[in-house]
Amino acid sequence: MEQIYTVADQLKLLGDKTRLTMMVMLKERALCVCDLADLLETSQPNASQHLRKLKAAGLVNEARRGQWIYYSLHVDDKPYIRVILDGLPSLKEKVELIKEDCNSLFGG
C-alpha cells in the first residue's frame, strides 16, 4: 500500500505543468537551474523550488559541475513515469536552443 501512496505523490507532482515540462526537458539532457529558468521563462528561485520537490520525490538527480548543479532524470526504476514522459511531445528542439551552459553565461 505504501508503494501506491508513493506513486500517487509522484504523479501529483507531475500534475503541475511547470514540473511536468521540466521532466520532459530533462528527458533530453541534464540541465542546470539557469537553463531551465531560461527555457521556462521563469525565475531561478521558482525553478529551484520545483526542482527541490522533484528531487525530494526521487524523480531527478543532481550532480555538481564546478559551481553549478545539473539535474537529470531519475526514472529508470519508475516505468510508470517513463511511460508518461514517452507519451508526451518532445521538447528536444527547444532544449537544443540552449547552447551555452551556466559556466559560460556567467564566466565560471
Distance (Å, whole) CA 45 – CA 92: 24
Distance (Å, whole) CA 92 – CA 75: 18
Q: How many Cα atoms sit within 13 Å of 17 on the Cβ side? A: 2
* pLDDT on residue 25: 97
Distance (Å, whole) CA 105 – CA 108: 8
Question: pLDDT by residue (tens digit) across 21-76?
Answer: 999 999 999 999 999 999 999 999 999 999 999 999 999 999 999 898 999 999 99
Q: What domains are defined for the chain?
A: 2-89 (1.10.10.10)
Sheet holding 31-32, edge to edge: 31-32, 68-73, 60-65
* pLDDT on residue 98: 81
* pLDDT on residue 107: 43
Q: What is the value of pTM for the model shown?
A: 0.87
Supply the angle between the helices 33-40 and 17-26 in degrees, to the nearest 10: 120
